[in-house]
Chain A
Amino acid sequence: MECAVDAQSLISMSLMKIHSSRTQRGGIKLHKNLLVSYVLRNARQLYIKEKYAEIYRMQQYEEVMAVCSGIQELDPLEPLEQQGAEDAEPEQPGRAALCGEESRAAGGREPEPPEPAYYRSCCMEDQFSQNCNKTTVLDLDTHVVTTVENGFLHQDCCCAAAAAAAPQCAPGAAARKRKVDSAGCSPDLEEPADYTAGRKRLKREECSGADCSPDASNISNLISIFGSGFSGLLSRQAELEQVCSKQALASLGAWTRAIVAF
């Protein structure tokens, strides 16, 4: 009866429990739902950690690729970001390209704080690159030196933008998930992760939910109804979301192995 201890499956399992508790006889059990929300929080924290680690590794690879191609083409002056966007990893072709797409799509709008800093500095747009601060880090595990802008990781901020841009649930989802699920289900997983940040986001999630499968719309409705629950205990991860500062970054387990070299 072993199930995969996967952050994403735990998140979806927890949501199903909360959803089914609404129709349970005797009313919603406060204690059980509180415990389920703790699991949700823990799964989400791990999910974010894994995401950061993944992006970090991907960035490393892109940096290396960029440097290699830069050396080959004897054109060291081209900014790394643009190279990164064009030389996306073969295994994950969608990611960086989508990232670029999303940022361009969202570039024109004026997003609410803290989102402007969120995706502007991480996405591959020249006009924002001067806002980025670079940090060079050495990963003790892989012994690779890499440079990261401001600690921002592409996926999360672009996916937040994806959630914000109503019709585009599928592309954002593809960028997030490693395994491919049915297209309708994937956006749901980001929606619950975002709900803790506050009601502001809930309305956007409802929009994206409506375009997806019936399951997704049920869950997005659930989130909006459940929006007032237990975000107090999720405040730690809310902080992570709101301000991708160096301090928040330092708290992530993936980064604790790294040494700030320069």
Chain B
Amino acid sequence: MGEDAESPKINHTFLRDYVTEADVISTVEFNQTGDLLATGDKGGRVVIFQRETESKGVTEEAGEVGDSGEYNVYSTFQSHEPDFDYLKSLEIEEKINKIRWLPQQNAAHFLLSTNDKTVKLWKVSERDKRPEGYNLKDEEGRIKDVSTITSLRVPVLRPTDLMVEVRPRRVFANGHTYHINSISVNSDGETYLSADDLRINMWHLDITDRSFNIVDIKPANMEDLTEVITAAEFHPHHCHLFVYSSSKGTLRLCDMRASALCDRHTKLFEEPEDLGSRSFFSEIISSVSDVKFSHSGRYLLTRDYLTAKVWDLNMDKGPVETYQVHEYLRSKLCSLYENDCIFDKFECVWNSSDSVIMTGAYNSFFRMFDRETGRGVTLEAWRENSKPRAVLRTRRVYTGGKRRRGDVGVDSLDFTKKILHMAWHPEENIIAIAATNNLYIFQDRVNPDAQTE
């Protein structure tokens, strides 16, 4: 919804808030080539953007303004509808929790989208030709009178306006008792996993009535529950390896060759707790909200409430790098608990060369960290401050010392403007940032190819 100028007589704010709740973007994902970008929202819709192909002969120069490389809407469809579980008298939200693209095998594109309970496989295909010259039907499709047919002809395909068709091909239902938080496509191209709070299932893409349970951490007595699964992902190259994170801040690497049920981890990644900084909220802020393998498959990136951490698969004693995303919030945890912001689940992403990591924060800020220098930068995704093709300027949150112009005080941060979901192009320095119901796409024109910034 656009921001209409408010009439001086009628205040539309409440209406605007009501209407756009369903438009809040809940997931963002590039496909493997980066030509397609899918977003899912709270209303159960999926919007696919396609990158415009660059015109032949035009080379990208620094600062050159052109239409090539922009993303435009390619297709929109309703993926999930609100549902109701009659047995448990529970409403099932239509919000799209995750979208994952399948590797492309033919002209069509496939993606998996999931809400709390059901995973669906969608086929996205183009149609730019249509058959003409039927013998038994006329151009409008009406059946011809047989007596009027005097000759036979072969129908031909003629070009037509491009039409994008999206059809559901599989519905993977009834696999989860708890809320699905992750899906991940395996490198074998045949299977994928779906994880909820207590279980992880593995599915075959062609089989919808059965799934294989590979992790189950539900205790025999629910009163003994101490942790839940928060995210899971397959290794990018090894189809037998996957990792899952827990609410206690631990990561578990599992090898499916070891046993059928991977309740016992192959490796446990855990950082010793800093007992000196314990607070009421220690458990909440240590809960991992997202985990991502690096493109190389050697490292893991995790996000908890205040930090982003890089782990080496070969070292389970602790992270190799820790980045403070918004340490200034540590003294505000009580207020953030009160307004529920402390439960926000931020995602984190790698760039294509695994040299830069990125994650979101509040006040429409997001942070990028250069792994080689260890330095971080704060950027802002806010339409009023950035015109198209303007250079993103770095922002700063004032936490003491000399205050610079443009610094934002901690108390002036807008906690309703949170950057939770984001994606980085698999090959180039293009990022997609979801800010509530807006999608920002930033491109690095100076270094379009992946380089250390």
On A, residues with C-beta under 8 Å from B are 1-5, 10, 13, 17, 25-27, 29-32, 34-35, 38-39, 42-43, 46, 228-233
A232, B92: Cα distance in complex, Å: 28
Q: Is the CB of B222 within 8 A of A39?
A: no
Q: Which of B136-188 contact A (CB under 8 A)?
A: 178-179, 181
A168, B140: Cα distance in complex, Å: 83
In the complex, the chain B residue whose C-beta lies closest to that of A27 is B90
A34, B287: Cα distance in complex, Å: 11
Q: Is the CB of B219 within 8 A of A232?
A: yes
Q: Distance in Å from the Cβ of A15 to the closest Cβ of chain B?
A: 13
A73, B70: Cα distance in complex, Å: 94
Q: Is the CB of A35 within 8 A of B335?
A: no
Q: Is the CB of B280 within 8 A of A35?
A: no
Contact of B197 among A3, A31, A46, A233 (CB under 8 A): A31
Q: Is residue B190 contacting chain A, with contact meaning CB distance below 8 A?
A: no
Q: Is residue B328 contacting chain A, with contact meaning CB distance below 8 A?
A: no
Known A1-B411, A30-B228; judge A228-B222 contact (CB<8 A): yes
In the complex, the chain A residue whose C-beta lies closest to that of B116 is A26
Q: Is residue B17 contacting chain A, with contact meaning CB distance below 8 A?
A: no
Within 8 Å CB of A32, what residues of B? Answer: 343
Mask of B363-403 contacts with A, CB within 8 angstroms, 1/0: 00000000000000000000000000000000000000000
Q: Distance in Å from the Cβ of B143 to the closest Cβ of chain A?
A: 49
Within 8 Å CB of B222, what residues of A? Answer: 228-229
Known A26-B91, A27-B91, A29-B179; judge A39-B337 contact (CB<8 A): yes
Q: Is the CB of B179 within 8 A of A34?
A: no
Known A10-B280, A26-B93; judge A230-B223 contact (CB<8 A): yes
Contact of A35 among B95, B116, B181, B283 (CB under 8 A): B283
Q: Distance in Å from the Cβ of B220 to the closest Cβ of chain A?
A: 11
A32, B181: Cα distance in complex, Å: 13
Within 8 Å CB of B225, what residues of A? Answer: 34, 229-230, 232-233
Interface of B is mostly: loop
Q: Which of B103-161 contact A (CB under 8 A)?
A: 116
A230, B247: Cα distance in complex, Å: 14
Within 8 Å CB of A5, what residues of B? Answer: 280, 334
In the complex, the chain B residue whose C-beta lies closest to that of A40 is B280
Within 8 Å CB of B230, what residues of A? Answer: 31
Q: Distance in Å from the Cβ of A159 to the closest Cβ of chain B?
A: 22
A1, B247: Cα distance in complex, Å: 27
Q: Is the CB of B223 within 8 A of A2?
A: no
Mask of B334-355 contacts with A, CB within 8 angstroms, 1/0: 1101111001000000000000
Within 8 Å CB of A230, what residues of B? Answer: 223, 225
Q: Is the CB of A38 within 8 A of B334?
A: no
Residue of B88, B178, B282, B337 with highest tally of chain A CB at under 10 A: B337
Residue pairs across A and B with Cβ atoms less than 8 A apart, 12 shown, are A1-B339, A5-B334, A10-B337, A13-B338, A26-B92, A27-B179, A31-B287, A35-B283, A39-B337, A42-B282, A42-B283, A232-B225
Q: Is the CB of A30 within 8 A of B197?
A: yes
Q: Which of B62-103 contact A (CB under 8 A)?
A: 88, 90-93, 95
A233, B337: Cα distance in complex, Å: 20
A43, B333: Cα distance in complex, Å: 14
Contact of B221 among A1, A4, A232 (CB under 8 A): A232
Q: Is the CB of B280 within 8 A of A233?
A: no
A233, B223: Cα distance in complex, Å: 8
Q: Is residue B226 contacting chain A, with contact meaning CB distance below 8 A?
A: yes
Q: Which 5 A-B pairs have the closest CB atoms?
A: A232-B224, A38-B283, A26-B93, A1-B335, A27-B90
A4, B337: Cα distance in complex, Å: 12
Contact of B179 among A1, A13, A17, A30 (CB under 8 A): A30
Q: Distance in Å from the Cβ of B114 to the closest Cβ of chain A?
A: 14
In the complex, the chain B residue whose C-beta lies closest to that of A231 is B223
Q: Is residue B238 contacting chain A, with contact meaning CB distance below 8 A?
A: no
Mask of B216-242 contacts with A, CB within 8 angstroms, 1/0: 000101111111101000000000000
Given contacts A30-B178, A39-B281, A229-B223, 8 further A-B contacts (CB under 8 A): A3-B338, A25-B93, A26-B90, A29-B179, A30-B197, A34-B225, A38-B284, A42-B279
Within 8 Å CB of B181, what residues of A? Answer: 31
Known A3-B338, A5-B280, A232-B219; judge A35-B91 contact (CB<8 A): no
Q: Distance in Å from the Cβ of B36 to the closest Cβ of chain A?
A: 29
Q: Is residue B332 contacting chain A, with contact meaning CB distance below 8 A?
A: yes
Q: Distance in Å from the Cβ of B331 to the closest Cβ of chain A?
A: 9
Known A3-B338, A39-B284; judge A228-B223 contact (CB<8 A): yes
Q: Is the CB of B226 within 8 A of A35?
A: no
Q: Distance in Å from the Cβ of B284 to the closest Cβ of chain A?
A: 5
A229, B283: Cα distance in complex, Å: 17
Within 8 Å CB of A27, what residues of B? Answer: 88, 90-92, 116, 179
Q: Is the CB of B92 within 8 A of A1?
A: no
A107, B313: Cα distance in complex, Å: 62
Q: Distance in Å from the Cβ of B96 to the closest Cβ of chain A?
A: 13
Residue of A2, A27, A43, A231 with highest tally of chain B CB at under 10 A: A27
Within 8 Å CB of A34, what residues of B? Answer: 225-228, 247
A229, B224: Cα distance in complex, Å: 8
A10, B334: Cα distance in complex, Å: 8
Within 8 Å CB of B283, what residues of A? Answer: 35, 38-39, 42
